A and B are shown apart, each in its own frame.
Chain A
Amino acid sequence: MTPFRTSYWHIEPVWVFYLLAAVAVVVFLFGLFAHVSVWVRGIRRQTLPFSWRGISNLFLDGFLGRRIFKGDIAAGTMHLLILWGFLGLFVGTVLISVDYWVYHFLKGAFYIWYSAGLEILGLMLTAGLIWSLIRRYLQRVPRLERRFEDLAVVVFLLLVVLSGFAVEGLRLAAQRQEWARWSFVGHWLSLLWVHPQGALAAYPYLWWVHAFLSLGLIAFIPYCKLFHILAAPTSIYLENQPPQAIPVETRSPDDEVFSYRDMIFFDACTRCGRCVEVCPSTGAGEPFSPRDFIVWARENLLRKYHPLNYFTWLTRWANHRHTSEQGFDPQKIWHCTTCRACLDVCPVYVATQDAIRQARSKIIEEGIQVPSLLTQTLKNLYKYDNPWEATKKKRAQWSQDLEIPDFSETEEAEGLCYFVGCTTSMDIRAQKLARSFAWILKHVQIPFGTLGKREPCCGDIARRAGEDGLFEKQMEDCVELFDRYRIREVVTSSPHCFNTLQNEYPAFQALKPPEEQANFQVRHYTQLLRELVKVGSLWFENPLHVTVTYHDPCYLGRYNQVFDAPREVITAIPGVTLVEMAHNRANSLCCGGGGDRVWQENLDADVKMAEIRIREAEATGAEILITACPLCLIMLEDARKTTSLEHTLQVMDLNEFVQMALSLEHIPGEQSVRRR
């Protein structure tokens, strides 16, 4: 007898099953509809171009789980077992229906393979699920939460597979087919039943239990974190779509602040907690965690746009229920330094820092809850084009005695435009880096100039605060100035300016007619220095025997993937030993100065982020901590003082370090930097 698949064996009445299945599908669809009705409320301006990258990411991150493996092989393997087990069984079940309704093909050798395959998939799923329970409840992996949902979902899935195996066992015990041993798990279970009659009697009941559980699972998906089965692939596909530009002018008061992408990202989140593990704010013991924010945003949006809101009493009940719970305090979003570490580790590409910026824009628009120092800063930015002081006059003071051409006083700029930036221009400590950079440029005889006191703020600070109107105004000022003085080549001292000019402007510029678009190139100074080293115009005569470590600024490293340029410059200096901190490159720890935290009060917990960072630097045994960002410089310099490391560790900008190396007198023998 050829092996074949028996369907609905001894199951009566089959129509009840179809009815239940229909109900499950309706419940599922309604849940899906609820999510989609949130997504469509997300703000969207630009169309979505088709993306092959997206498709390939989908395969790599979705099907192969690339990002889940990253940094946690155990989690990756466990998830893969569950994912493939689940998917395989799902496909297997679909095949049964095809076999029953469309074309009978589950027979013969193919059926044998099919049966054995399903057994393996079932075992994989079971193993994965049990492993996940062990990780969460026995190993107690710190980043994992132990909410009811977390247990329920796994147990539910486990019940479905186990009941499946049991049903199979009963069926095989009753049928005693000769090919049964290929369904090895079922076969093994069937051996437990000595009486085929008893098995047959019990079989339908258990079949119904299994059917009920399976259909229940389908219905349950959109209502629990299993919804990531649908949302995660969507979010992975959308990840590399270009950022949207949503000019303030085009916004209406009813527009949601979050984009449709953010909303899908929120839905894709499985609360895995990787972001919590890397978030410097959480790490410093501050009362904020990216995951809490995501969950809060998701729940809020769902409550706000749920289709059942049509029934006002339901809304009222939901709101009432919510107020009695203690939720996430939206004020906490000011803790985020926008360091992007969370995005780098999130398996489903949740861009928390972006969503937070959007959430901030809501607070800014309402105006009531804006931190008071930030209020002052934004007002200064508007009036004086810098966050630090209520004057424009001091902007060029750092260069008073340096005779640097002021492009704003010429007809047409000749050469490189050095965009100094607010902090570098105004902060006494940071000014030194500008002086060093100017010195280096003169040393290598590159013609350059600045915009003097006409230089505006690039808009980064306003952008991070969610004050998009101000950002757009400052962007226009900047672009207009560059255009007026025909500035084509820009180099910045701050990674923040660099990132804003490089990554934030283009989306907005693209909305303008081509002839009005900005037309300039921007580099960070580390890139320029590296180039100078490469072409041989920047070279170091004398060795500098010193051990240094390098702190990757978030906006240079993670945001713009500039990891090697500064390191190449450092190692081009003979004698220098570069050692790495525990967190480096994409994994770097934020100094705590980003995301406008410098201009707010009372965010720090007992230990400041910069102090944590400087301790890491200290641990390397380096004598100098080099960085390439004015904000990092002032934050770390401050931390050096508060941790009493003044005598063991120096903090320097790369420019200062390079200048020091260039101005070394040639003295044979040892050099000590600290004595300089």
Chain B
Amino acid sequence: MNIVVCVKQVPEVTDAELEINREGTEILKEDLEFDINEWDNYAVEEAVLIKEAHGGKVTVVTLGDEDCEDVLRTALAMGADEAIRIDEQGFEFSDAAGIAQGLYHAVRDVPFDLLLTGAQGSDDGWAQVGLTLAELLGISYASLVVGVEIGEGTITVHRELESNTQEKVEMPLPAALTIQTGINNPRYVSIMGIQKVRRIEIKETGSKELGLSEAEIGSQGSSVASQKLSLPPVGEGAEILTGSLDEICEKTAQIIRDKGGVM
């Protein structure tokens, strides 16, 4: 069972104060730390688990600048066997379809039975790349996968639906899946682990090598004409309670009582 996993590096923003550059096109990333996209982390783990159970090879692919090698190394340390980095040059301002084009050209010659991506990126949240890729490759797919069972030439997956429900779908291999969090427990990657894989060569490629024209990718290939970022109004709606901890709690207790909380 050979598996390709597409991963991406994202800035961590949960506890960060975000700022936007003057042009309003990007957030300022100097002070941010980067890591593998949370959903992709689950995808890599799932690939490695499947490999460990059924044999085969796991190839991870990312599209990004040189710093993104870190996520590939992380994936290698988790148990992936090969890594490909598509250089970001030419892909700036691509929309999800443009990114999918890049990945498509990089993976179409890699023999695989399964292609995994995260369900979405924690940064721009397009939730598109995995399925667009599947469509370009012309293979069956399932999104929001929370369980995988490998069969003979087929695969059965559990898709997560709303309201705490799931559905089960079966499809022939090769197939593409977008992985939802919680499907497994991604393993810890230690520095020792990273060091062990430091000699594995990362294959480099780029838009030119892949034969992509400017019209297909980047801002030309994107269907978005412009994008302007702004900070949502702070605390809109919420009245922030102030004072000492004691005062705040007194007020809150009163609110809870007023609103009919305490029985």
A663 to chain B, nearest CB (A): 22
B196 and A253 form a contact (CB under 8 A): yes
Report the minimum CB–CB distance from A460 to chain B (whole Å). 16
Query: Which residues of chain A (445-502) have a CB below 8 Å from chain B?
Result: 467-470, 472-473
What's the least CB distance linking B162 to chain A, in Å? 26
* Residues of the A chain whose Cβ atoms lie less than 8 Å from the Cβ of B185: 372
Contact digits for B181-201, partner A, Cβ 8 Å, 1 yes 0 no: 000011111111111100000
The total of interchain contacts (Cβ-Cβ below 8 angstroms) comes to: 59
A598–B238 Cα distance when bound, in Å, is: 33
Q: Which of B9-17, B81-89, B221-229, B254-262 makes up part of the contact surface?
A: B9-17
B244 → chain A, closest Cβ, in Å?
13
**Quick check: is B113 within 8 A (CB to CB) of the other chain?**
no
A469 and B191 in contact, given A372-B185, A390-B12, A390-B14 (Cβ under 8 angstroms): yes
Q: Is the CB of A370 within 8 A of B191?
A: no
Q: Which residues of B sit under 8 angstroms from A665, Cβ to Cβ?
A: none
Q: Name, among B12, B16, B31, B192, the residue most crowded by chain A CB atoms within 10 Å (CB to CB).
A: B192
Q: Would you call B75 an interface residue if the criterion is a C-beta within 8 Å of the partner chain's C-beta atoms?
A: no
* Separation of A368 and B78 alpha carbons in the complex (Å): 9
Query: A383-B33, A384-B33, A469-B195 known; A375 and B15 CB under 8 Å?
Result: no
B122 to chain A, nearest CB (A): 13
- Asked if A370 contacts B192 (CB within 8 A), the reply is no
Whether A365 lies near B187 (C-beta < 8 A) is no
Report if A248-B187 is in contact (Cβ < 8 Å); known contacts: A253-B196, A383-B33, A390-B16: no
Q: Tell me whether A177 is interfacial, beta carbon within 8 Å.
A: no
- Contact between A378 and B15 (Cβ–Cβ < 8 Å)? no
For the complex, is B160 an interface residue (Cβ under 8 Å from A)?
Answer: no
> Any chain A CB within 8 A of the CB of B170?
no
Known interface pairs A367-B78, A391-B16; A248-B192 also in contact (CB < 8 Å): yes
CB-based contact B33/A251 at 8 Å: no
Interface size classification for chain B: 20 to 34
Q: Which one, A251, A378, A384, A393, contacts B188 given CB within 8 A? A: A378
Q: Is the CB of B15 within 8 A of A389?
A: yes
Among A251, A365, A389, A393, max chain B CB count under 10 A is at A365
> Do the beta carbons of A391 and B195 come within 8 Å of each other?
no
A361 CA to B191 CA, complexed, in Å: 11
Interface pair B190/A469, CB less than 8 Å apart: yes
- Point out the residue from A365, A383, A391, A393 that lies within 8 Å of B193, measured CB to CB: A365
Tell which of B35, B77, B190, B191 touches A383, judged by Cβ atoms closer than 8 Å.
B35
Within 8 A of B (CB), among A340-375: 361, 364-368, 370, 372, 374-375
Cβ–Cβ < 8 Å partners of A372 in chain B = 185
CA distance A469 to B195 in the complex (A): 9
- Min CB–CB distance A604 → chain B (angstroms): 21
> Nearest Cβ in chain A — how far from B52, in angstroms?
10
Q: Would B192 and A365 count as touching, CB distance under 8 A?
A: yes
Minimum distance in angstroms from A396 CB to a CB of chain B: 15
State whether the Cβ of A403 lies closer than 8 Å to any Cβ in chain B: no
Whether a CB of chain B sits under 8 angstroms from the CB of A379 is yes
Which A residue sits closest to B49, measured CB to CB? Answer: A368
| Contact indicator B190/A364 (Cβ below 8 Å) | yes
Nearest A residue to B191 via CB reads A469
In the bound assembly, the distance between CA atoms of A370 and B192 in angstroms comes to: 14
Taking CB atoms and an 8 Å cut-off, the chain B residues in 1-42 that contact chain A are 12, 14-17, 31, 33, 35
**Nearest CB of chain A from residue B180's CB, rounded to whole Å:** 17
Let me know if A473 and B191 touch, CB within 8 A.
Answer: yes
Does any Cβ of B come within 8 Å of A249's Cβ?
A: yes
Question: Are A368's CB and B187's CB within 8 A?
Answer: yes
Smallest CB gap from B15: residue in A: A390
The answer to whether residues A251 and B192 also contact, given A367-B78, A370-B187 and a CB cut-off of 8 A, is yes
**Restricting to B196-217, which residues have a CB under 8 Å from any CB of A?**
196
Whether A467 and B35, one on each chain, are in contact in the complex, defined by CB atoms closer than 8 angstroms, is no
Give 11 CB contacts A-B under 8 Å: A248-B191, A364-B188, A365-B190, A367-B190, A367-B193, A370-B187, A384-B33, A467-B191, A469-B190, A469-B194, A472-B191
Given contacts A364-B192, A383-B12, 19 further A-B contacts (CB under 8 A): A248-B195, A251-B192, A364-B190, A365-B193, A367-B77, A367-B193, A370-B188, A375-B188, A390-B14, A390-B15, A393-B17, A467-B190, A467-B191, A468-B191, A469-B192, A469-B194, A470-B190, A472-B191, A473-B191
What residues make up the interface of A, taking CB atoms closer than 8 Å to B?
248-249, 251, 253, 361, 364-368, 370, 372, 374-375, 378-379, 382-384, 389-391, 393, 467-470, 472-473
In the A-B complex, the 6 residue pairs with the smallest Cβ-Cβ separation, listed nearest first, are A469-B191, A367-B187, A370-B188, A390-B15, A383-B33, A367-B188
